[in-house]
């Protein structure tokens, strides 16, 4: 069973250790941060979202209170009733065990029940089929696909733009 709480700087070491190589780092950060991830960058990232009234950083904790995942909610738009998820990552040693599905599901629940939005969006690179499958298990559907829009070294990655809608109550 996972729990969500606001990200703390004490989580920075976990987050940095989950990034195992430059390619994975770019799948996670989409060039918004520089490899390798440093504590200084994480501090800047945290400070940026502490003053952003439309964004929040979360940590997922296991039953012992140990960080096992991380994600960002940003671009909350209360008129359009939407929020965007990003920077989603689970401890690599725990992947394939349902933690990602549970963490993203908890995030969606938070967005729907606490933020009262009707729509959550996210983007996932076509080079990350495990993440795409995770989001589909949560209920996200692909709305658009943009082929070859992100450059990583000599590769061109496409992006699946996915969304989940809250059912009308």
Long-range contacts of 46-53 (CB under 8 A, 24+ apart): 46/7, 46/9, 49/74
Q: Does the domain at residues 3-123 carry the CATH identifier 3.40.630.30?
A: yes
On the 0-12 / 13-18 / 19+ scale of CB atoms within 10 A, 34 is exposed
**pLDDT given for residue 169 in this prediction:** 64
pLDDT tens, 137-152?
999 999 999 999 999 9
Q: Work out the average pLDDT over 93-99.
A: 97
Token readout for 157 is 């990655």
What does the DSSP assignment read for 141-164?
A: EEEEEEEEEEEETTEEEEEEEEEE
Residue 121 contacts residue 162 (beta carbons within 8 Å): yes
Residues 56-71 have a mean pLDDT of: 98
Q: CA-CA distance, 13 to 11, in Å (whole number)? A: 6
Tell me: pLDDT of 124 over 70: yes
By percentage, how much of the chain surpasses pLDDT 90? 98
**pLDDT for the residue 72:** 98
Mean pLDDT of the chain: 97
Mean pLDDT for 10-38 is 96
- Does 168 have pLDDT greater than 80? no
Q: Is the pTM of this model over 0.75?
A: yes
pLDDT confidence of residue 167:
84
């Amino acid at each position: 069973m996972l729990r969500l709480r606001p990200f703390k700087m004490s989580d920075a070491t976990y987050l940095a250790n989950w990034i195992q190589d430059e390619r994975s780092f770019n799948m996670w950060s989409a060039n918004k941060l520089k490899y390798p991830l440093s504590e200084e960058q994480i501090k800047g990232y945290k400070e940026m979202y502490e003053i952003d009234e439309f964004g929040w950083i979360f940590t997922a904790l296991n039953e012992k209170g140990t960080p096992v995942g991380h994600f960002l909610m940003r671009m909350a738009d209360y008129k359009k009733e939407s929020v965007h998820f990003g920077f989603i990552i689970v401890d690599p040693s725990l992947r394939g065990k349902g933690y990602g599905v549970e963490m993203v599901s908890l995030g969606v629940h938070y967005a729907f029940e606490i933020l009262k939005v009707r729509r959550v969006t996210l983007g996932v690179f076509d080079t990350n089929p495990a993440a795409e499958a995770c989001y589909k298990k949560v209920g996200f559907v692909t709305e658009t696909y943009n082929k070859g829009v992100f450059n990583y070294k000599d590769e061109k990655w496409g992006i699946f733009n996915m969304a989940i809608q809250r059912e009308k109550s």
